Structure 1
Amino acid sequence: MALSISATVLLAIVVVVLVKGGYVRVGSALTCTLFGFTFAATGLAPAINTGLAALAGFLSSS
């Protein structure tokens, strides 16, 4: 749970910086956000969460 909240906050900050910097338009950011929500409902979501947890474990042990 703490990992997903941290990743969510980090990615939200990245999106805000990209929108403010003009690299990504608001419509594109909203489309990517909606895609993420629908992608989370698929069968690949557990594999992605496991991969992120493994990556976080690897980074914290280094």
Structure 2
Amino acid sequence: MALSISATLLLAIIVVVLVKGGYVRVGPAMTCTLFGFTLAATGLAPAINSALASLAGLVASF
């Protein structure tokens, strides 16, 4: 649970910085956000969560 909240906040901050910096416009950012929500509803979600947990474990080991 703590990992998903941290990853969500980190990714939200990155999106806000990219939109504010002009690197990404609001339309594509919203499209990617909606894609993420629909992807989370598929059967691929457990594999993605597992990959993120493995990546977090790798980063934490440094």
TM-score range, shorter chain: over 0.9
Partner of 1:16: 16
Structure 2 residue aligned with 1:7: 7
CA distance in 2, matches of 1:25, 1:54: 31
Return 5+ residue gaps in structure 2 as ranges: none
Aligned residues: 62
User: For residues 51 and 31 of structure 1, what CA distance do their matches in structure 2 show?
Assistant: 23
Taking structure 2 as the reference length, what is the TM-score of the superposition? 0.95
Aligned to 1:48: 48
CA deviation digits over 1:4-37, x for unaligned, max 9?
1000000000000000011111111111100000
Identity among equivalent positions (%) equals 81
Query: Where do 5+ consecutive residues of structure 1 fail to align?
Result: none
With structure 1 as the length reference, what TM-score do the two structures score? 0.95
Q: For the residues of structure 1 that align with 2:24 and 2:39, how far apart are their CA atoms?
A: 20
